[in-house]
């Protein structure tokens, strides 16, 4: 197996660092005096700059240095943190991504414009008097005002050398900064019998006299800062006596980063962080997908083995078959967990979107997220990103009113958008809700009639009317804006959700807001299914959608002709005869079964000839020739090699409810 490309690894880690910086900046907008967030953003910029320089991304390192310097001034109290400064650094952070992906591109004009905005934000909107890269530093801090004497005391984690850090190299770098005296404290070195020669136990005390600023000293430790204990003290005004220790040699130091903390607590914290990092392994998504395919093939083979063992009289073969079935089930469940991700990784992307749209539209917006711990298949999360962007943008542009309109309507000036997720059975429901003006039924109907989607005066139930907004080219916006109004987006949302075998529910109350719920299956790879027979063919019903199974006698079947309803605990449930829907041309079995399925509050019964049993279903996509067959969401291979189609529960429930509405209207 080839070693991973270091540049690719750096890009992955840099993108993660940029996400952390963005999250810190967005948290800072809520509390501009939060010292922890200010320090976190500064450390992120500092690490990104140093790592970029080390891997040859000089343009990224140089540009990031300006943002780091600006936040260093905030950290030191020279300038206040403002919304304008946060917005400027957020815009700069987007440019950092471009510098990361296209390091050799022409970015000079964009860099200059962003740095001008950053400098203006640092100076409070006034014309800059000096470059952001060279801010006025407080006396005694970074200003190279003559020769100064510093005491640097540092210790490295015990496994530093194993991780590639050479302490002599750090000491050599410090010697290059000026005159230095280095003393090694050996009080932590264990007894000889307990000594591990691969570990570091020394603590170094360095007295450095130099004209270089403090930042240059910090830069020596930049690549090891987060894993070490470091104290830097200015001895120019008062120079205390050095503690007794063993003189090592006049050696010197390293690279940048500071953390004035107590050595022992930091060492414990660093060890804990390293242990946590060691527990995680970065695996490319393609390998997980490949592994999932292999597990799917194993499940199919195991199903074949179970069928053969069931037909054989060999008890030993049956025992082995049961053991393999158990192991393959456990492997399948483990693999499913590996592919699951919390929706927090999806929801976190919208904090930036809402922040930018709030500044662009002039609306006050609060984003609330709920159920971030709900886990969904990785593929589902990747495909849902764009649909959710359209829904959130529409909620802000069409739904939320301007502050003055909200106040006039008796609402708070700040509008609210709620993103929530919850799991129900084998599906997850992601909801986008706003407290805006709601959807105008009159405008939707007028637009639909003008577009020829419905006949003038046609009778539609409320849900059918609201679903019209997902038609291609449909928009009720009175003018086209940067956000919406072109009639594209909502139809893409519907197509994407349906491609995931999901459904969309929409509700709205005039003056109170709207709610769009996406019902998505938890996984797209392997599901538990109920195998049934209709005529001579076998079909799979996703087990999470099954509520119960009933027997439909021949008398009940004949009695319900013309009105396909069954009485289920004092409620009428419509049912569909799959034999007629699929046109099997066969006679019904004497004892038919009704499988009651549901999607939320809607229920419908499916009449089948036989219920065979549960089945681990490996989902295979339908061919392009069958793309328009909406009754089925996929196919699977049975143990005997035959193919069984997977029923699209959402479509069948909709068909059943439509039949019920027609019968009620006729009655």
pLDDT at 280 over 50: yes
Residue that has been written with the tokens 């105008």 in this structure: 440
Q: What is the pLDDT of residue 431?
A: 92
Q: What is the pLDDT of residue 137?
A: 40
Q: Which helix (H) or strand (E) holds 343?
A: none
Confidence grade of residue 38 (pLDDT, cut at 50, 70, 90): confident
Residue 667 tokens, joined: 């009655």
Residue that has been written with the tokens 């995680």 in this structure: 280
- Bridge partners, residue 615, by sequence: 529
Residue 273 tokens, joined: 């962080």
Q: Tell me how far CA of residue 654 lies from CA of 434, 595, 596, 603, 605, in angstroms.
A: 26, 16, 14, 9, 12
Rg (Cα) of the chain, in Å, rounded? 33
Q: What is the pLDDT of residue 601?
A: 64
pLDDT at 249 over 60: no
Q: Are residues 392 and 432 in contact, defined by beta-carbon separation less than 8 angstroms?
A: yes
Q: Tell me how far CA of residue 105 lies from CA of 59, 63, 124, 664, in angstroms.
A: 10, 14, 31, 65
Higher pLDDT, 322 or 251: 322
Q: What is the pLDDT of residue 475?
A: 65
Residue that has been written with the tokens 């199903």 in this structure: 303
pLDDT at 586 over 80: yes
Higher pLDDT, 660 or 187: 187
Q: Are residues 419 and 346 in contact, defined by beta-carbon separation less than 8 angstroms?
A: no
Q: What is the pLDDT of residue 259?
A: 35
Mean pLDDT for the stretch of residues 479-506: 68
pLDDT at 420 over 90: yes
pLDDT digits (tens, 9 = 90+) for 507-539: 888 888 899 988 887 766 677 788 899 888 889
Q: What is the pLDDT of residue 664?
A: 61
Lowest mean pLDDT among 131-135, 483-487, 505-509, 661-665: 131-135
Confidence grade of residue 500 (pLDDT, cut at 50, 70, 90): confident
pLDDT digits (tens, 9 = 90+) for 76-119: 888 888 888 888 888 888 888 888 888 888 888 888 888 888 88
Q: Determine the 3-state secondary structure of 342 from DSSP.
A: strand
Mean pLDDT for the stretch of residues 585-598: 84
Parallel, antiparallel or unpaired: strands 572-577 and 565-567 = antiparallel
pLDDT at 267 over 50: no
Q: What is the pLDDT of residue 662?
A: 67
* CB neighbour list of residue 410: distance below 8 Å, 6 or more residues apart: none
Query: Beta-carbon neighbour count of residue 104 at 10 Å?
Result: 7
Q: What is the CA angle 209-213-216, rounded to 5? A: 95
* CB neighbour list of residue 489: distance below 8 Å, 6 or more residues apart: 390, 393, 394
* CB neighbour list of residue 520: distance below 8 Å, 6 or more residues apart: 376, 380, 384, 427, 428, 429, 430, 497, 500, 501, 502
CA-CA distance, 529 to 653, in Å (whole number)?
Answer: 17
Residue that has been written with the tokens 């403090």 in this structure: 214
Burial state string for 418-438 with b = 16 or more CB within 10 A and e = fewer than 16: bbbbeeebbbbbbbbbbbbbb
Residue 187 tokens, joined: 């009080």
Positive or negative, the CA dihedral 509, 444, 653, 568 is positive
CA-CA distance, 466 to 473, in Å (whole number)?
Answer: 15
CA-CA distance, 81 to 75, in Å (whole number)?
Answer: 9
pTM for this model (two decimals): 0.61
pLDDT at 648 over 70: yes
Lowest mean pLDDT among 138-147, 303-312, 494-503: 138-147
CA-CA distance, 491 to 470, in Å (whole number)?
Answer: 5
Confidence grade of residue 276 (pLDDT, cut at 50, 70, 90): very low
Lowest mean pLDDT among 32-46, 301-315, 472-486: 472-486
Share of the chain above pLDDT 70, in %: 81
* CB neighbour list of residue 115: distance below 8 Å, 6 or more residues apart: 63, 66, 92, 132
CA-CA distance, 137 to 125, in Å (whole number)?
Answer: 20
State how far Cα 88 lies from the chain centre: 24
Q: What is the pLDDT of residue 464?
A: 77
CA-CA distance, 425 to 209, in Å (whole number)?
Answer: 68
Q: Determine the 3-state secondary structure of 464 from DSSP.
A: helix
Q: What is the pLDDT of residue 128?
A: 44
Q: Determine the 3-state secondary structure of 577 from DSSP.
A: strand
Higher pLDDT, 273 or 223: 223
Q: What is the pLDDT of residue 419?
A: 92
Q: What is the pLDDT of residue 147?
A: 82
Q: What is the CA angle 128-134-137, rounded to 5? A: 100
Higher pLDDT, 388 or 556: 388
In the predicted model, what is the mean pLDDT of the chain? 78
CA-CA distance, 64 to 18, in Å (whole number)?
Answer: 11
Residue 213 tokens, joined: 């600023």
- Residue 293 has, within 13 A of its CA and on its CB side, a CA count of 6
pLDDT at 482 over 70: no
State how far Cα 631 lies from the chain centre: 31
Confidence grade of residue 425 (pLDDT, cut at 50, 70, 90): low
Q: What is the 3-class SS of 289-309, one letter each residue?
A: HHHHHHHHHHHHHHHHHHHHH
- Residue 88 has, within 13 A of its CA and on its CB side, a CA count of 27
């Amino acid at each position: 197996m080839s070693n991973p490309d270091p540049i690719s690894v750096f890009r992955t880690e840099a993108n993660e660092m940029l996400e952390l910086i963005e999250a810190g900046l967005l948290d800072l907008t809520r509390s501009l005096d939060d010292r922890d967030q200010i320090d976190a953003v500064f450390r992120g910029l500092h690490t990104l700059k140093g790592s970029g320089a080390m891997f040859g991304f000089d343009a990224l390192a140089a540009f990031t240095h300006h943002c780091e310097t600006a936040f260093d001034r905030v950290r030191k109290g020279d300038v206040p943190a403002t919304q304008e400064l946060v917005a400027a650094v957020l815009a700069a952070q987007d440019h950092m991504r471009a510098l990361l992906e296209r390091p050799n591109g022409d970015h000079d004009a964009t860099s200059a414009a962003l740095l001008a905005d950053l400098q203006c934000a640092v100076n409070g909107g006034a014309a800059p008097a000096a470059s952001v890269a060279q801010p006025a530093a407080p006396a005694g801090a970074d200003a190279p005002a003559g020769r100064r004497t510093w005491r640097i005391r540092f210790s490295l984690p015990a496994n530093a050398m194993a991780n590639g850090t050479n302490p002599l190299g750090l000491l050599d770098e410090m010697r290059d900064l000026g005159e230095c005296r280095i003393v090694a404290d050996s009080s932590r070195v264990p007894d000889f019998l307990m000594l591990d020669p691969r570990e570091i136990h020394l603590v170094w005390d360095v007295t450095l006299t130099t004209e270089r600023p403090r930042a240059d000293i910090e830069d020596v430790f930049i690549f090891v800062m987060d894993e070490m204990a470091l104290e830097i003290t200015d001895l120019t005004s008062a120079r205390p006596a050095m503690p007794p220790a063993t003189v090592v040699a006049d050696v010197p130091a390293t690279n940048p980063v500071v953390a004035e903390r107590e050595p022992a607590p930091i060492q414990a914290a660093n060890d804990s962080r390293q242990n946590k990092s060691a527990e995680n392994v970065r695996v490319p998504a393609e390998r997980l997908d490949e592994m999932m395919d292999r597990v799917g093939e194993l499940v199919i083979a195991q199903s074949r083995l179970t069928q053969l063992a069931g037909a054989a009289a060999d008890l030993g073969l049956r025992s082995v078959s049961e053991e393999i079935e158990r192991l393959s089930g456990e492997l399948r469940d483990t693999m499913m967990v590996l592919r699951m991700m919390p929706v927090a990784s999806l929801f976190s992307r919208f904090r930036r979107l809402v922040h930018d749209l709030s500044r662009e539209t002039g609306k006050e917006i609060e984003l609330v997220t709920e159920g971030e711990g709900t886990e969904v298949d990785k593929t589902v999360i990747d495909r849902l990103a764009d649909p959710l962007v359209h829904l959130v943008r529409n909620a802000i542009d069409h739904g939320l009113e301007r502050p003055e309109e909200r106040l006039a309507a008796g609402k708070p000036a700040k509008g609210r958008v709620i993103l929530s997720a919850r799991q129900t059975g084998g599906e997850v429901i992601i909801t986008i809700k706003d407290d805006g003006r709601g959807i105008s039924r009159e405008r939707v109907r007028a637009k639909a009639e003008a577009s020829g989607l419905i006949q003038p005066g046609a009778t539609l139930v409320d849900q059918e009317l609201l679903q019209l907004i997902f038609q291609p080219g449909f928009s009720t916006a009175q003018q086209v804006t940067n956000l919406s109004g072109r009639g594209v987006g909502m139809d893409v949302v519907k197509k994407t959700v349906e491609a995931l075998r999901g459904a969309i529910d929409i509700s709205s109350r005039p003056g109170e807001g709207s709610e769009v719920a996406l019902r998505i299956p938890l996984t797209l790879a392997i599901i538990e299914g109920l195998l049934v027979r209709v005529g001579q063919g076998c079909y799979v019903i996703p087990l999470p959608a099954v509520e119960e199974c009933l027997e439909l006698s021949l008398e009940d079947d004949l009695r319900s002709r013309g009105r396909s309803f069954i009485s289920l605990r004092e409620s009428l449930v419509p049912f569909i005869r799959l034999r007629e829907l699929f046109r099997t041309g066969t006679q019904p079995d004497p004892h038919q079964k009704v499988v009651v399925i549901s999607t939320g509050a809607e229920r419908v019964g499916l009449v089948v000839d036989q219920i065979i049993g549960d089945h681990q279903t490996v989902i295979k996509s339908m061919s392009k020739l069958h793309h328009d067959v909406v009754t089925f969401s996929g196919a699977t291979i049975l143990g005997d090699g035959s193919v069984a189609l997977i029923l699209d529960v959402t479509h069948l429930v909709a068909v059943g409810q439509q039949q019920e509405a027609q019968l009620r209207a006729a009655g």
